[in-house]
Amino acid sequence: MREGDLADPAFRATALDGVRSLFLVSRIGSDAGVLGAARQAGVEHVVLVSSITVRTHPHLGSARENAAVERLTGTAARPFHHWVFEHLAAFR
């Protein structure tokens, strides 16, 4: 486990070195930046916490943003070997 600011590109470049799995909550920071750094570092497995609205209310702006992040995991030139989307309805 590493602690730091994933919004900082310099930190991202070193923080993900040697990491095999990433647990990422979407839309909190630079998802594209984090996923890009994860690809470069050779991360194999991504668990992306997204939202059920991607499926139930795709017309909402936040659902479109979450769907765009989901697409980043598998449609890039170098997709991750494994990814899981957690479509949460609510936190308690």
Q: What is the pLDDT of residues 42-87, one digit of tens each?
A: 988 888 888 888 888 989 998 899 888 888 877 544 556 566 666 6
- Helical (H) or strand (E) element with 69: helix 61-74
For the chain, give the mean pLDDT: 81
- Helical (H) or strand (E) element with 48: strand 45-51
Beta carbons of 34 and 12 less than 8 angstroms apart: yes
- Predicted model pTM: 0.75
